[in-house]
Amino acid sequence: MIVSIAGVILSIILLLCFINIRWGTVLFLVYSLLIPIASITIGTLHIGDNVVKTTLVLSLIYNFKLKHNYKFSWKLLMPFVVYFIIEILIIPFQSETPMGSMLNSWRFDVMSTLFGAFVVYNVLSVYPGSIKIFRYTLLASIFVASAYGLFLTTTGGINPYILEIVSETGSTLKAQDLTHYFSDESRLFGRISSVFLHPMNFGLFIGLAFIYVYSIRNKTSKWIFVILLSILAIDSIVCGVRSCIGGLVVTVAYYLVFSKNLKIGITALVIGLIGYNVILQMPELSSYLGSITDIQGTNSDVQGSSIELRLDQLNGCFKEIKNSPILGKGYGWVSFYKTNFGDHPVILSFESLIFVILCNNGFLGFVIWGLLIFAVFRNNHKFQRSESILADSLLFFYIAYSCITGEYGYMQYYLLFYICLVFDSSKTNINYKVNVKCKSNSVINQ
C-alpha cells in the first residue's frame, strides 16, 4: 500500500513540474527527503528511477527552453560536474572492474546526485523569491524526520515505516535482518533510521539539517529555531550513530575557530559543560559516548569500529590496490564487490570515504577529491564571510562524516542542503550573481 501511494504521489509531483515548476520542485525536494522510494509503482505498473529522474529534467527543459528560453545555470554545481567528467575519462584506463559495471555505476551516481540538484538549483536561480517556500517546506521535512526519529526511541529502533516499504518492494534487504539491525542492543535505543533506509543516512541528515537550521536562525521564528535545533541535538545522541556526534563536534569546532565569534563560542562552551555534566549522571550514556574515543575498542560494551580496526582496514585497502596503486581497481568497484561477494574479509563494508577512494581510484582518487573540495571552497569564498563559513562547515561535516562511515549516496543529500543554504540569503543572491539571465526581468522577481 505504501509503495503504491508513494508512486501516485511521485507521479503527481512530476506532472506538477510541467505545470508549475516551482511547486513541483519544492514537493520533489520534500519527497526526496521523506520517502525512500525513487521509482513509481502503481499496481503492476513499474517505472524505474532512471525514467523518474529523466522526466524531472525534461520538465525543467520544457519550462526553461520551450516556454521561456531561459539559460541554464551551472556555476554552483560545476565542481561536481567536473568531478564526474574526470571520473568517466579515467574509466577506460581501469581494468579490474568490468567496463559495463563501471559505466552503470557512473550513470547511476550522476543521475541520483546531479539531476535533482540541477533542477532545484536552476529553479531557485530563476525564481530566487521562492526560497521562502523551499525554506519552510524544508524545515517541515526536517521536523517530520527528526520527530519520527525521536518516536523510534520508544520502539527500540524498530522502524515500522521502513520495514513496510522493504517488505512491499521486495528489496534485497530483508525485513527480518533489518529488525535485528535496528534493535541493536549495544545502542541505547537501537539504531534509528527514521525515514531513511539506513541509520547512517539518518545520521548524515541530522548533521546537515543541524547546520542548515543554524544558518537560517535569523530568518525564522525563534521558537522554530530552538525546537528544531533541540530535537536534532537529541537525535544526534540517541540515534545510535556515533559518527554523527563525532562529525558535529569537529564541525562545530571548525566553525568556532574560523567564525571568530566570541559570543557563540562562550554559548557553545556553556552548553557543552552542562551537557557533559548531564551525561556523567547517566552511566549508559556516558559509556556510549565514551566509546567514540576508545582507541582499542575494548573499554565499552558498544560494538563498532575502533581506530585499531580502521588501521587494519586501511592496510587491507593498500593490499587490494597493490597491482594498480595509481588508478585503483575501477570506478564503483566497492559497490561491485559488495554486490557480488558481500562484506570484505578485512575492509568489511568499506566504512570510510578514504577506503572507497583508495579502492576505486587509488592515489589518483585523492587528487580528484582534493580538486573537488578546493573548487567548492573557492566557490564558497565568493559569498559574504558569514555565509562562506557556514557553507564551508556543511562541506566539512559531509567530508568528516563520510570519512568515518563511508559514502553511501550521501552526496545527493549534501547538495540539496548546500543549494538551499546558499540561496537562503538575499546577500548571496545579490553579490554572487547566481541568477540566470532571462528575457524578462519581471519573471525573476515572481
Claim to verify: residue 161 and residue 30 sit in the same structural domain: no
Residue 98: band (very low, low, confident or very high) from pLDDT cuts 50, 70, 90: very high
Q: Is the pLDDT of residue 20 over 90?
A: yes
Rounded CA gap, 405 and 402, in Å?
A: 5
Claim to verify: residue 99 and residue 205 sit in the same structural domain: yes
Claim to verify: residue 61 and residue 198 sit in the same structural domain: no
Least confident of 141-145, 223-227, 310-314, 364-368: 310-314
**Nearby residues of 181 by Cβ (< 8 Å), 6 or more positions away:** 191
Residue 439 is assigned to a structural domain of this protein: no
Query: pLDDT tens digits for 240-261?
Result: 888 898 889 889 888 888 887 7
Claim to verify: residue 64 and residue 90 sit in the same structural domain: no
Query: pLDDT tens digits for 159-215?
Result: 899 988 888 776 556 666 677 677 766 667 778 999 998 899 999 999 999 999 999
Pick the last residue of a domain from 51, 71, 91.
71
pLDDT of residue 43: 72
Claim to verify: residue 64 and residue 184 sit in the same structural domain: no
Contact 362, 325 (CB under 8 A): yes
Query: pLDDT tens digits for 361-385?
Result: 999 999 999 999 999 999 998 887 7
Rounded CA gap, 308 and 318, in Å?
A: 16
Query: pLDDT tens digits for 47-89?
Result: 888 889 999 999 999 998 878 778 888 889 999 999 999 999 9
> What's the 3-state SS for 87-109?
HHHHHHHCCCCCHHHHHHHHHHH
Contact 303, 292 (CB under 8 A): no
Claim to verify: residue 32 and residue 103 sit in the same structural domain: no
Residue 8 is assigned to a structural domain of this protein: yes
| CB environment 260-270: b (16+ within 10 A), e (fewer) | eeeeeeeeeee
Claim to verify: residue 67 and residue 82 sit in the same structural domain: no
Claim to verify: residue 167 and residue 209 sit in the same structural domain: yes
Claim to verify: residue 301 and residue 420 sit in the same structural domain: yes
Pick the last residue of a domain from 28, 50, 71.
71
Residue 445 is assigned to a structural domain of this protein: no
Residue 238 is assigned to a structural domain of this protein: yes
Q: State which residues form the domain around 33.
A: 1-71
Residue 258 is assigned to a structural domain of this protein: yes
Residue 441 is assigned to a structural domain of this protein: no
Claim to verify: residue 28 and residue 106 sit in the same structural domain: no
Cell 548531564 locates to 278
Q: Is the pLDDT of residue 275 over 50?
A: yes
Residue 369 is assigned to a structural domain of this protein: yes
Claim to verify: residue 51 and residue 82 sit in the same structural domain: no
Question: How many domains does the chain contain in total?
Answer: 2
Residue 446 is assigned to a structural domain of this protein: no
Pick the last residue of a domain from 44, 71, 98.
71
Which grid cell is 157?
A: 529502533
Claim to verify: residue 201 and residue 322 sit in the same structural domain: yes
Contact 193, 201 (CB under 8 A): yes
pLDDT of residue 435: 44
